[in-house]
Structure 1
Amino acid sequence: MAPSKPNWANDSVTDFVINKGNGVKGLSETGIKTLPEQYIQPLEERTMSKVMVGESIPIIDASNWEDPKVGAAICDAAEKWGFFQIINHGIPQEVLDNVKNATYRFFDSPAEEKNKYSKENSVSNNVRYTTSFIPTVEKALEWKDYLSLFYVSEDEASKLWPSSCKDEVLAYMHNGSIVVKRLLSVLLKGLNVTEIDSEKEQLVTGSKRVNLNFYPVCPNPELTVGVGRHSDVSAFTVLLQDDIGGLYVRVEGKDSWVHVPPVKGSLVINIGDALQIFSNGRYRSIEHRVVANGNSNRISVPLFINPRPEDIIAPLPEVLASTGEKPIYKPILYSDYVRHFYRKSHDGKLTIDFAKA
C-alpha cells in the first residue's frame, strides 16, 4: 500500500521516514525524483575505487559435508576471502522462497502496522523496525529499511514477532540451524579444535538474529548507498539474497571490490569479527557494502550467528596452542563489542580495533 503523498511544507523527510514509519520504501513510493539531502553520501563512501570484473567469491557445493575437500574449500575461503557461497546446502527451496515472500509482505504492510515495531513503540528490544543503520548518529543516511528479530525463545517469537512474517522467519532459522552446525564443525576443525562440546558451540553460536532488509528503488543511486562499508560483528552470517544483486565485497589487501552474483538456491556465508577474534586473525571478516538500485526493489535476509551477549570473546586456547602465536586480541565482553559497533555509523573495519590487545 503506497503512503499518502506528504506535504513537504509541513512534513520533513525525517519525520515522514522515521517518526511516521514510512521508511525509505514509503519515500520511494511517493515518486520523488531527487534524492533528499540527508541521503547524499560523501564521495569516498558512495564510490568504489576499482571493481574487478569477472572475479567473485568461491562457490562451494556442500552436498557432501563429510567430504574433506568441502571442509578444506570452506576453511580456505574463510582465510583468503572471508566470504563464500554454498549450494546444495540442504535447506529446501520452498523455505527460502517463503521467507523472501514474507519479507515483501511485512514491508508492504501499512506504515502504522510497521511502526508498531519501531524503537519508540515496540514492546521488546528484541523486535525492531527501523531505517538506515543508526539514524541518530549518522551524518548521511543509508537507503534501506529493515526489521531486526533477535531470537530468545519460540514463545517470545510467537507472541511478539509480526504475524506477517514470523512463521516463515522461524522456518528459515530452524532449517538454517543444520547448516550452522555443519559450518561450525568445519570451521573449528580448521582451527585445530577437535572437540566441539556444547560449551564451545554456545560460545561461538549461542545467539541468533534475523534481519529482513528492504532496499527500495532509489531516484539517484549513484549518490547514496544501500549499506555502507562494514564487517559484521557476528561469528558468521548466513545471507539469503534475491535475484537482483548489489552486494560487493572488498578484496583483502587490495583497494578493489567484487560483486557477489545471485545464485538461485545459494546462501552467502561471511566470517564476522567474533570469529576473526576467536581464530586470532586466521579467518577474516571482510568489508562489504550494498549499492542502491535505480530500477528495482531488492531484499535480503541475513541470519547472524553470534556469541551470547554475556560471553567473553578472545582467541581460542586451541588456536594459540597449535600455532604458538601470541593473542592479537584481548578478552572482551561480547555485548560491549556489539555496543561499540552500534554507537557509530558504518566505518569499514574500525570496530575490530576495539578488541586489539
Structure 2
Amino acid sequence: MAGAAPPVLDFSPFYGNDKQALAKLVEEVRQCCLHNGFFQIVGHRVPAELQQAVFTQVKKFFDLPLESKEKISRETNSWYRGYERVGSQIFEDGTAPDLKEGLYLGEDIPKDHPYFIHKKLNSGPNLWPEDLDDVEAFKSISMQYYWTVLELARDVLSVIAQTLGLDASFFNEFTKDAVATVRCLHYPPQPKDSDETISRGIGAHTDFGAITLLMQGDVDGLQVYDKTTNEWFDVEPVKGAYVVNLGNMFMRWSNDTYVSNLHRVINKSGKERYSVPFFLSGNPDYVIECLPNCRKESEDPKYPPITVQEAVGGNYNKTYGAADEFYRKNGMIKQAPVSTAQEITVE
C-alpha cells in the first residue's frame, strides 16, 4: 500500500447478510492494520443526531469561563476525570506544550465500586460541569454516547478478529467490563505563521490502549505519518465518520504484526477545532499475550504476557510530567491561566 491518507471504508456490511461484502471489508481493514493502523468508517450505527448533540454539549462546555471549567479540574483526582487547560501535556519531544484543552469522561463509577477501590485503570466518578445551564442534558448525552461508541468499538474489534483468522467473538472477554475513556477536546487556532517545529495542537504520538475511535467534527488538523514515504498525510474530516486506529497495546498483542502509528494535530485552519476521541483500553485484569496466528510456531513471542492495567497504566503520567518539566526549564508558572494558543511560547 503506497503512502496515502487513511481510506474511508463502508462498515455497513458488518450488519448485513452479504458475505462477499463482509469479506471485502475484512480484507480492507486487514491491509490498513498492516500498513499504518488507521482507517475511517462510515455506515456504522451511531446516530448522526447523537453525534451532533455531543458536539453541541462539548462546545457549550468549552465556552464556559476558565474559572467554571477549573471547578472540575483533572488535578483534583487521581483517576483522570475532569477538565485540563491548554498546555497541560507534551506528547512530542522538542515541542512546546500541546495547544488544546480537554475534558476526561468515562463510565460513571461510584467510589464503592471494586474498580475504584482497587485503583483500576482510570476508574472512578465523572466530574460534571455544574455551571452549565442544563448539566443534566450534558450528563445524559455524554453517557448515551459512551455506551453507544463502546458497542461500535466491540463491532470494530469483531472485524479485526476476522482479519487475523479468529472467530468474530474472540475479543468478547477482553471487552467485558472494559475501561474506556471519552476525551472531549478543543484546539484553539494556531497563528498561521507559527513555527510548526515546536507548535502542536497535540504532538506526534501513538495511542496507549487497544483501539481509538475519533469523531473529528468539521475542522481539519489531524495528520497521520506514513513510514513508507516518510510523509505526513492530512485526515480530512468526513461527516459522521469515525477515524479508527490501533494503539500500542494492540500492536504488542499482535506481536507487532499490526501497527500503532504516529499521528498529530496542527490546527492552522484559523478556526476552533473540536474532536471527541474514544479510547478503549479493555478489562484491566485481562491478560494480553501473543494472539493466535501472529507468530510462527518455531518462534517465541516478542513480548511476555501482561495485563491491560500494566500495559496502559502510567503512560499518561509521562505526558503531564514532560509539560511540568517544560514550564520549570523555561521559568514559567504552570498554575498561571493559559487560555489561548498564543500564550505558550518557548523562551
Whether TM-score is above 0.5 comes out as yes
Q: Distance in 1 between matches of 2:242 and 2:6?
A: 12
1:179 is displaced (CA, Å) by: 1.7
Alignment CA distance shift 1:332-1:221 (3 Å):
farther
Q: CA separation in 1, counterparts of 2:278 and 2:143?
A: 11
Q: Which residue in 2 is equivalent to 1:196?
A: 169
Give the corresponding residue for 1:281: 256
Residue number in structure 2 paired with 1:101? 56
Structure 2 residue 282 is the aligned partner of structure 1 residue 307: yes
- 1-structure distance, mates of 2:90, 2:295: 43
Q: Distance between the aligned counterparts of 1:138 and 1:114, measured in 2?
A: 28
Partner letter of residue 100 of structure 1? F
Structure-2 residue corresponding to 1:169: 142
Query: Which residue of 217, 229, 233 maps to 2:208?
Result: 233
d(CA) in 2 for partners of 1:181 and 1:144? Answer: 29
Counterpart in the other structure of 2:160 = 187
Q: 1:329 aligns with which of 284, 290, 303?
A: 303
Shift of 1:323: 5.8
Equivalent residue letter for 2:128: W
Residue 342 in 1 paired to residue 316 in 2? yes
Match in the other structure for 2:83: 129
Contact 1:222 1:292 in 2 (8 A): no
- TM-fit CA distance, 1:322: 6.8
Cα distance change, pair 295–328 in 1 and its aligned pair in 2 (3 A):
same
Give the residue type in structure 1 aligned to 2:30. Answer: C
Find the counterpart in structure 2 of residue 6 from structure 1. none
1:78-117 equivalence runs, <5 A? 78-117=33-72
Relative to the length of structure 1, the TM-score reads 0.72
| Worse-matched range after superposition: 193-202 or 269-278 | 193-202
The 1:289/1:321 distance shift into structure 2, 3 A limit, reads closer
Distance 1:221 1:147 in 2: 26
Q: Deviation at 1:328? A: 1.6
Structure 1 residue ranges without an equivalent (≥5): 1-51, 347-357
The one of 196, 210, 214 equivalent to 2:186 is 214
Deviation (angstroms), 1:137: 11
Task: Report what 2:26 is aligned to.
Answer: 71
CA distance in 1, matches of 2:224, 2:88: 19
Matching residue's letter, 1:247:
L
Offset, 1:243? 1.0
Q: Does 1:60 align with 2:9?
A: yes
How many percent identity over aligned positions? Answer: 29
Is the 1:216–1:293 contact (alpha carbons within 8 Å) kept by the matching residues of 2? no
**Contact 2:214–2:243 (Cα < 8 Å) also in 1:** yes
Separation in structure 1 between the aligned mates of residue 35 and residue 178 of structure 2, nearest angstrom: 26
Q: How much does 1:152 deviate?
A: 4.7
Amino acid at match of 2:138: C
What is the root-mean-square deviation of aligned Cα atoms in Å? 3.0
Unpaired segments ≥5 residues, structure 2: 17-21, 114-123, 130-134, 321-347
